[in-house]
Chains A and B, each alone.
Chain A
Amino acid sequence: EVQLLQSGGGLIQPGGSLRLSCAVSGFSVRNSYMSWVRQAPGKGPEWVSVIYSGGTTYNADSVKGRFSISRDNSKDTLFLQMNNLRIEDTAVYYCARIQTSLAYYFDFWGQGTLVTVSS
């Protein structure tokens, strides 16, 4: 059974840093395209970062230079390091796997974790 279990998140002041984790089971992160997607209150989802199976990473323009995605293959865990947080980064953050075999779409998601940036 595929599971993505997230941890981290919480209340942080502007300019602070936070690290989110996503422990997966049922598949291997090293062989998968993985992503972080966030959803601000009352808004649609927005992809934040992606890491391909080969290790290449990309970040959305809104977080470039501040957020970084990484993984620990030995622990099948995905991370999102968030630095210099801004009020507009407040959102529920999801880790998600990208299906790539027949088409490209998000097929499995974590439970989500709330990040609140506020003074």
Chain B
Amino acid sequence: DIRVTQSPSSLSASVGDRVTITCQASQDIANYLNWYQQKPGQAPKILIYDASNLKIGVPSRFSGSGSGTHFSLTITSLQPEDIATYYCQQFDNLLPGTFGQGTKLEIK
């Protein structure tokens, strides 16, 4: 089974900061890596699919990059409403694959 390791597990940043979260896959997954945002009491929400494609309606301050085994999610100019937990997730041969352990983002 493919594993995805996400880091850091938590992050504190100030409004306006640039924030980067990374995700490493245990084997080459090409660009089959998605990023979700989850706020307390809510279901996860898709932000980025296939590593770098921004879902329609998601603010352009969110971006994704990477391929193979190393991926990142970047938020330029952090906003108060971005406080949430972020997860990476991969699809493996059409089966929903594993989610990362999550990165809890807080305002400093």
Contact = CB atoms under 8 A, between A and B. Distances in A.
Contacts of B36: 45, 106
Interface stretch (A12-20, A22-30, A63-71, A97-105): A97-105
A106 B94 CA distance: 12
A104 B87 contact: no
B96 interface: yes
A103 B96 contact: no
Contact of A46 (B34, B45, B53, B99): B99
Interface residues of A, number: 23
20 contacts: A44-B100, A44-B102, A45-B87, A47-B95, A52-B94, A58-B95, A94-B43, A99-B49, A103-B34, A103-B50, A104-B32, A104-B49, A104-B91, A104-B96, A105-B49, A105-B91, A106-B46, A107-B46, A109-B43, A111-B43
A109 B94 CA distance: 18
A47 B89 CA distance: 10
Nearest to A42: B102
